[in-house]
Structure 1
């Protein structure tokens, strides 16, 4: 299973280490590839340097200076997560061209990218050796320079390329038809229902990129995708087995 571990679900060190333990436990039942973001870590580094963040349609405008900071912050977090999960190795897009990308909109977004290729052979080799790959969401462009990739998008691309299910961990329990009414949490959604939700407006805001990434994963060959909370103990295994979160089908 491809597990996307997001910045909002790793705001505290205690929570982050708890999820790392759950990922290590899940690995006993199935091979796991972890793809992570790191918004809070990036924000701390930018604030320390007095640089203000600017977003366009939910994506961080990434100048070359900010790209250097993003890559530095994610590289450190990548190694820390690998250590906390155990029997894992931290990788970025530059490693054996793991994530190859193209700039999304250089004029408006700078060094923000989209994934156009995944070195699945490297991931399969590590999994076969009993090692969990932990992938930071930095891709490498044709010019050899780094690109800042949305972590949901990166996880969706990896899941699609490997034809495996994807679990998107976030700070809500799943997709609600009327947030935050718990009775409206959708246990499953089809593509048609997702399109209906987007048009009707009950899929919007921060949930939109997650759902979009999940749909992209399904389009690329993933059999299913799950959106679930990474904030509650025990959710990772339950979501992986279809007992928590919202499961999306083609």
Structure 2
């Protein structure tokens, strides 16, 4: 079994437990990571304010102009990726750092504009440097895995016009898991998807039917909407299972694979 682990970039996510787990896993593992906090911190250190926008469907995401894209390239494949690879190698894992540009790992169409909601009105914003993943170089990942390496990958992706652009790390992990026919484990700062977003006691443990999946999508709010979107895309693309779980749990990956978090099975996606 291959496991694709998405390590979140939020400030509340501590990757140390996940890195230790990867060193002990018997399964092949691919790590995909974000770095929203690192990007925001770098922007603020440069005297720039991070900009987030809301889509008409209610999903909040980063607006990436040309200047932000330069910071993005510095922070993710530079700072965050290097730190994760260093941590894994210290734990005895033969980790290899990659961006989505390397070897054409993540490729697809660049967005010419994005639809946003500002002050209750729908608008078109141009100048966004982001894209949608359409292809994953699974051969590259499988070659690295077969040689005993653990790939550690992050955005940016390579757009079809040959430019590096931003893409959502959760959806990148989903694309990788689908291409490899793997189990996706999305590690975040909560214990899973909650039926009541404010009450951890209402964690949805398992989603196996379309009815349960509908309840899952209705429960997801805010940042969790994007996690559920990634889970859906992973399963539709061929992942064997998808889990949303806490990065801060004891042995977070092992705990997630053993039943922690929210497990979604392919049969739930109608």
Q: TM-score, normalised by structure 2?
A: 0.85
Structure 1: gaps of 5 or more residues: none
Matched with 1:220 is 237
Matched with 2:263 is 247
| Structure 2 residue 178 is the aligned partner of structure 1 residue 175 | no
DSSP-derived class of the 2:166 partner: strand
| Structure 2 residue 118 is the aligned partner of structure 1 residue 99 | no
Say what the alpha-carbon RMSD is for the aligned residues.
1.6
Report how far residue 154 of structure 1 moved.
0.3
Deviations along 1:216-249, one digit per CA (max 9) or x if unpaired, are: 11001111100000012222111123x2101001
Report how far residue 60 of structure 1 moved.
0.6
- Of Structure 1 and Structure 2, the greater helix share is in 1
Deviations along 1:35-66, one digit per CA (max 9) or x if unpaired, are: 00001111111001111112123211001111
Matched with 2:57 is none
Mapped partners of 2:252, 2:173: distance in 1: 19
Matched with 2:84 is 81
| Structure 2 residue 172 is the aligned partner of structure 1 residue 154 | yes
Contact 2:17 / 2:252 at 8 angstroms: preserved in 1? no
Alignment of 1:46-65 (within 5 A): 46-57=43-54, 58-65=60-67
Mapped partners of 1:116, 1:192: distance in 2: 29
Mapped partners of 2:52, 2:105: distance in 1: 26
1:184 is aligned, of 199, 202, 208, to 202
- Please list every run of at least 4 consecutive aligned residues from structure 1 whose deviation after the TM superposition is greater than 6 angstroms: none
Structure 2: gaps of 5 or more residues: 55-59, 115-124
Mapped partners of 1:65, 1:38: distance in 2: 17
| Structure 2 residue 150 is the aligned partner of structure 1 residue 132 | yes
Matched with 2:212 is 193
- Of Structure 1 and Structure 2, the greater strand share is in 2
Contact 1:115 / 1:154 at 8 angstroms: preserved in 2? yes
| Structure 2 residue 221 is the aligned partner of structure 1 residue 204 | yes
Contact 1:185 / 1:246 at 8 angstroms: preserved in 2? yes
Contact 1:33 / 1:133 at 8 angstroms: preserved in 2? yes
Matched with 1:39 is 36
Alignment size in residue pairs = 242
Q: TM-score, normalised by structure 1?
A: 0.91
